[in-house]
Amino acid sequence: MRVCKGMLSVARKKLAVWCKRNSGLKRKSEGEIASGSVSPDGGESERSLAEELVTAFKLAFSQPRLSLMMFIQYAVWGAWFPALSGYLEKHFGFSGEQIGWIYSTLPLANLVVPFTAGQVADRWLPAQVALSLFYLFGGLVMLAMAFQSNFPVLLVLMLVCALLYAPTLALTNTIALRNLKDPQREFGPIRVWGTIGWIAAGLLLTALRKFAGSEGWRLSPEVRVIDVYILGSVLSFIMCIASLTLPHTPPAKEAPDPLAFRRAFVLLRNRAYLIFFIIAFIVATELQLYYILTFPFLSQWEGKVAGITTENLPAYMTIAQIAEIFVMTFMLPYGLPRWGVRNSLLIGLIAWPVRYFIFSLVWSLYATAPNFVWLAIAALTLHGFCYVFFFVVAFIYTDMVTPPDIRASAQSLINVAVLGVGLLIGSWFAGWLKDICTPESGLTNYTIVFLVPGVITLICAFVFAALFREER
């Protein structure tokens, strides 16, 4: 978006306070589908880092309804995603392929999100009502899943549940972004509650298993109760009710096209957004290598380095979420208005190959210097920059360059690239890469495994830096 410096200069005296707190991008008008700039005006840079950190902390508590929405949204996901695979393997004897199919349902569901969540929220129902309905039916399906052990039945129900949950990822972004006065500054501190919710769900599940023996729950001697689905369904019903208390977010009253998702594809006609979209898709395919392979990678040091066990590795893995909380709450509101979309995305992109190259280097020292595993654990902190400065900024950027009447569909479109096709291909790619890097001895060569995504994301960073341009 072009920002007229002369007009800002004239208006500065009258709007000094407003500019200090709300500097940044104006939203695009309906006919403007082009790159945006989040460069602040001159007064913004005068604020110190300490002032920005205090402001960010206040913003995290400034919208309690939106914060609660994000908290429960990702708590539902966190209730089943990390622990389900272990449960299915241990208690039902599911194979790796079967578990892979179960986990592929959510990426598959994200492929149809633009035709569900976006269309409903942009044209038919208020976003908060649509969110409530998706959670009502999703909670019922998840409750039914809790009493299943047959793979085909569980797979079908999981796909239905995913089709109901996937739209909520775009809807919560839409509700938050539409109801924040300054999304580039406020979205990060609000979205961070989602990460906190994910962690809280894991802790709650741990407590249920430790104090209530939930992992061994049975409806009858023959019927097990899958505790992760029970927890997820309860949280879904809570979200169903909480959604109705959210700010009213109506569909567009006047729209040039009744099919919002069709207009969302117009975004791809813009060169800058198309470059960004393609890069986001490629990077998303490499995200699954982190999620799927980091735990087994670090577990190789069990018995070789004191302090590394499969029991305490989950605690070490939360370093990534803690870093994500810090970056999203403090660094994003401070950096995005100053550095702009391009530089912020570049920071996220560069963090990806750095993390993977560190993992690759550490494995090359596995035999001679095993204690270097602590460098890999320290590198988990880079996840905060990888995720926040790339994917969270991606959602903000998409909102900024999109006409108001198709914003939900645009959020759904980027979800298709990132959480749909990207994660789906990434799941298959991670398994294939691990298999070809694992000889008959059974010891995977993680130097090669992580070198591959490191090179891919490094190339993405160079291409993005060379081709993506913001309009000032």
Task: Express each pLDDT in 76-94 by its tens digit.
Answer: 998 888 778 778 877 888 8
Q: Answer yes or no: is pLDDT of 125 > 70.
A: yes
Which of 56-60, 107-111, 133-137, 336-340 is the most confident on average? 133-137
Q: CA-CA distance, 400 to 393, in Å (whole number)?
A: 10
The structure tokens 């969540």 sit at 117
469 φψ region: left (φ > 0), alpha (ψ -120 to 50), beta (else)? beta
Nearest 5°: the CA angle 348, 59, 5 is 70
230-238 average pLDDT score: 97
Identity (one letter) of the amino acid at 102?
Answer: I
Per residue in 383-405, pLDDT (tens digit) is 989 989 988 888 888 878 877 76
Nearest 5°: the CA angle 302, 305, 307 is 80
Residue 344: its pLDDT value, please? Answer: 92
- Quick one: DSSP state of residue 63? -
Q: Give the architecture-level CATH label for domain 54-467.
A: Up-down Bundle (1.20)
Residue 11: its pLDDT value, please? Answer: 33
Q: CA-CA distance, 73 to 435, in Å (whole number)?
A: 34
**CA distances, 307 to each of 297, 298, 450 (Å):** 15, 12, 23
31 vs 311 pLDDT, higher one:
311
Instruction: Give the closest residue to 187 by CA, choosing from 350, 397, 28, 42.
Output: 397
Q: Answer yes or no: is pLDDT of 358 > 80.
A: yes
Q: What are phi and psi of 69, to 5 degrees?
A: -60, -50
Residue 216: its pLDDT value, please? Answer: 83
